[in-house]
């Protein structure tokens, strides 16, 4: 299926955009209670969950538009690795059982984007 390789930059760009949109929604949930407030309530300013929400929104927006994509994606990958081990890893080994599937997937999607680049439709890809 070699013929599909010509679509690789577009598939990567779409992965970047849709992962970032989903990721931003986690930040808006934490900070603004949108689309729904988290079960534990909104965090107080400067707390760890509040800081994570800010990073999710700002980093997610950078990845979404493809601006400083690699460093932003690398930071988001690290954020999700820390989130996985702090919130889920202590509840068991398997991500399906400890509730950490999303954190694990975001971690590796953003790590891939950090190494592969932004793909198509990114500000980073524009020619001067």
Q: What is the pLDDT of residues 57-107, one digit of tens each?
A: 999 999 999 999 999 999 999 999 999 999 999 999 899 999 999 999 999
pLDDT for 1 = 85
Residue with tokens 């398997």: 94
pLDDT for 128 = 57
How far are the Cα atoms of 9, 40, 43, 125 from residue 104, in angstroms, in the given order? 23, 21, 23, 27
- 116: confidence class by pLDDT, cuts 50, 70, 90: very high
pLDDT for 40 = 82
Cβ–Cβ < 8 Å for 15, 119: yes
Rounded to whole angstroms, how far apart are CA atoms 25 and 8? 26
What is the pTM (predicted TM-score) of this model? Answer: 0.93
pLDDT for 41 = 86
Task: Compute CA 99 distance to the chain's CA centroid, rounded to the nearest angstrom.
Answer: 16
Q: What is the pLDDT of residues 8-35, one digit of tens each?
A: 999 999 999 999 999 999 999 999 999 8
């Amino acid at each position: 299926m070699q013929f599909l390789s010509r679509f690789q930059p577009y598939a990567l760009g779409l992965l970047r955009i849709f992962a970032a949109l989903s990721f931003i929604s986690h930040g808006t949930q934490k900070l603004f209670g949108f689309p729904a407030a988290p079960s534990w309530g909104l965090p107080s300013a400067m707390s760890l969950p509040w800081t994570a929400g800010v990073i999710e929104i700002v980093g997610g927006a950078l990845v979404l538009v493809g601006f400083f994509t690699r460093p932003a994606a690398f930071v988001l990958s690290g954020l999700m690795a820390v989130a996985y081990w702090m919130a889920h890893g202590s509840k068991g080994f398997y991500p399906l059982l400890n509730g950490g599937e999303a954190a694990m997937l975001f971690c590796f999607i953003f790590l891939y984007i950090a190494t592969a680049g932004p793909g198509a439709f990114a500000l980073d890809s524009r020619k001067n």
